[in-house]
Amino acid sequence: MTVVLKLGGSVITDKDAPETVDDAALEAAADAIAAADPDRLVLVHGGGSFGHVAAADRGISREAGSHDAADVWAVHDAMRRLNDAVLRRLHDAGVAAVPVHPLSVAARDGGDALALPLDSTATLLGEGFVPVLHGDVVGHAGAGATVVSGDELITRLAAGLDADRVGLCSTVTGVYDDDGEVLPRITEFDSVADAVGGSDATDVTGGMAAKVRALLDLDAPAHVFGPESLSAFLAGDPAGTVIEG
């Protein structure tokens, strides 16, 4: 079974403190992954107080690019350092994690379509590694470089690797309705459009609304859940809100 899992940046960092890892939360997530020992796992992590802050400071987003190499490097370097922290903790837990940096493999064309070749990721996965991707900047024809979000990466990875199960571990226990209750299932966006909103901290990729839209595009069922449900998700049990387009 192929599992694609995203650890939200708000889970593994303190989004109110620039470039601060939440050590306890990251350790707990790594330990849960190690204990589950999934056969085929691809991991994606968000930018949190690293990439989102660096990108916002330099005016780079999904739509707005930059031709300034120093700006592009600053955003990528912030994400690389967070990725290094994630890899170190996974290794400490005994997980065979290896990095895959989107800046080196992905690109957008002039029409905004994202190309993400998966040969490297698929080969690493087949050889028993856990590829770890992350939100990043990527070359964008006519715009320099723009942000690629973890949600975009999840969509491409799930489709290209024929994922059986997709998870998005966030700081919320699921997707909430207007009354603050967790929705058990979402099958189309319009029914939850008024309930979902943006992130409550700096986020250049669209917040919960963008996450729901991205997950609705998948063929595999996706789950949005909090850290306390990570072990259940990895065990194949229901977790949080199930999103099936």
Break the chain into its structural domains and give their ranges: 2-243
Q: What's the rounded Cα separation, in Å, for the pair 146 and 137?
A: 5
Residue 129 has a pLDDT of 98
Say whether 150 counts as a known binding-site residue.
yes
Residue 83 CA to its chain's centroid (Å): 12
The CATH class of 2-243 is: alpha beta
Mean predicted lDDT score pLDDT of the chain:
92
Helix (H, G, I), strand (E, B), or coil: what is residue 6?
Answer: strand
Say whether 207 counts as a known binding-site residue.
yes
Residue 202 has a pLDDT of 42
Say whether 6 counts as a known binding-site residue.
yes
Say whether 230 counts as a known binding-site residue.
no
Q: How would you classify residue 217: left for phi > 0, otherwise alpha for psi between -120 and 50, otherwise beta?
A: alpha
Say whether 211 counts as a known binding-site residue.
yes
Say whether 67 counts as a known binding-site residue.
no
- 188 or 44, which is more confident? 44
Please write the tens of the pLDDT for every residue from 178-228.
888 899 999 988 888 888 864 444 444 456 787 788 788 888 999 999 999
Residue 217 has a pLDDT of 80
Residue percentage of the chain with pLDDT more than 90: 74
Average pLDDT (62-73) is 96
Q: Is the pLDDT of residue 151 over 90?
A: no
Say whether 47 counts as a known binding-site residue.
yes
- Cβ–Cβ < 8 Å for 158, 133: no
**Cβ-based neighbours of 218, under 8 Å, separated by 6 or more:** 154, 155, 158, 159, 163, 166, 243, 245
